[in-house]
Amino acid sequence: MRSFLFVPADSENKLAKAMAAGADALILDLEDSVVADRKPLARDVARDFLDRHVAAAARPGLIVRVNARDSGLTEADLDAVMPARPDAVMLPKAEGGPDVEYLDAQLAKRERAHGIAAGHVGIFVVATETAKAIFQLGSYAGASARLGGLTWGAEDLAADIGAESKHDAAGRYIEPFRLVRSLCLFGAVAAGVQPIDSVYPAFRDLDGLRRECEEARRDGFTGKMAIHPAQVGIINDVFTPSPAAIAQARAVIAAFAANPGAGAVSLDGRMLDMPHLKLARRLLARADLSLSRTGNH
């Protein structure tokens, strides 16, 4: 998936509008965007929303961000929304593979209780929101077959480490956060799941958003989270392989197919080896997924 749009789960109006935003997935948020005394309402609204939309033939993915494990609210969140069969659950403030194993067990128990196929509900993780979490980014591999992606966040991490700022004068992340971003990318790829870039908070700065999306795609991320519907179109555009990129990838694959057994081939005056073939195949796989995103889930 290219675009993941956060929507406060306590707002029926925002949830309804989000369905038309064009996002590949909506994240029904029970955590940071919902104040404490509205969390019970948010659970009810989220469950009702899922009940009404989860069986639709054409819709975005429906992910519920529950509250963090140490909040004491996670299991109540799951009790409320699991009967409505979300596509996935997002766990914030995760601190490594054991947190994913915990969530896997909680999901499995509720799948059995509600007659949901085993493994139906996936897991996404916000993996960098505490200093401790940074040292666990290599522990997600093998934690659960449900795990679909890792993303990173800067707001909670900044508070945890006491950073006075996250950005330099040009508006780019300063070194601690650039490091965390890179480590999240490596952790996701090592786990064999999707690396998803963090939100761009300045939702009116669409030029800045495009720049950050292009840098993320360049570096290896395959999708990005959004906090406003206006951001979705740019995210989808940047993370959809262009016709020129698809044509080039097909040419690389064809060159290797024409030379079976060759470890390197020549194409347009360049020598290409196995990493180029691997990249070409990955790009075409992403292109195929983009073409298939008609909202069917």
Q: What is the pLDDT of residues 28-64, one digit of tens each?
A: 999 999 999 999 999 999 999 999 999 998 899 999 9
pLDDT tens digits along 243-263: 888 888 888 888 888 888 888
The confidence band for 186, taking pLDDT boundaries of 50, 70 and 90, is: very high
Write down the pLDDT at residue 129: 96
DSSP helix/strand/coil, 84: helix
Q: What is the pTM of this model?
A: 0.88
Q: Which long-range contacts (CB under 8 A, 24 or more apart) does 206-215 make?
A: 206/230, 206/231, 206/234, 208/171, 209/234, 209/235, 210/234, 210/238, 213/238, 213/239, 214/238
Q: Provide CATH 3.20.20.60 ranges for the chain.
A: 3-239
Q: Does 286 score more than 80 pLDDT?
A: no
Residue 270 φ/ψ region, left for φ over 0, alpha for ψ in the -120 to 50 degree band, beta for the rest: beta
DSSP helix/strand/coil, 157: helix
Average pLDDT over residues 224-230: 97
Write down the pLDDT at residue 2: 95
- Partners of 122 in the beta sheet? 88
Task: Report the topology of domain 3-239.
Answer: TIM Barrel (3.20.20)
Q: Does 241 score more than 50 pLDDT?
A: yes
CA diameter of the chain = 65
The confidence band for 278, taking pLDDT boundaries of 50, 70 and 90, is: confident
The token pair at 65 is 């961000």
Write down the pLDDT at residue 248: 83
The confidence band for 26, taking pLDDT boundaries of 50, 70 and 90, is: very high
Q: Which of 141-145, 284-288, 292-296 has the lowest mean pLDDT?
A: 292-296
Place of tokens 């292109």: 287
pLDDT tens digits along 131-185: 999 999 999 999 999 999 999 999 999 999 999 999 998 888 999 999 999 999 9
Average pLDDT over residues 272-285: 83
Write down the pLDDT at residue 285: 78
Contact yes or no for 181/150 (Cβ under 8 A) = no
Write down the pLDDT at residue 290: 66
Write down the pLDDT at residue 295: 42
Tell me the average pLDDT of the chain.
93
Calpha distance 232→2 (Å, rounded): 9
The token pair at 108 is 């499995």
The token pair at 277 is 């073939």
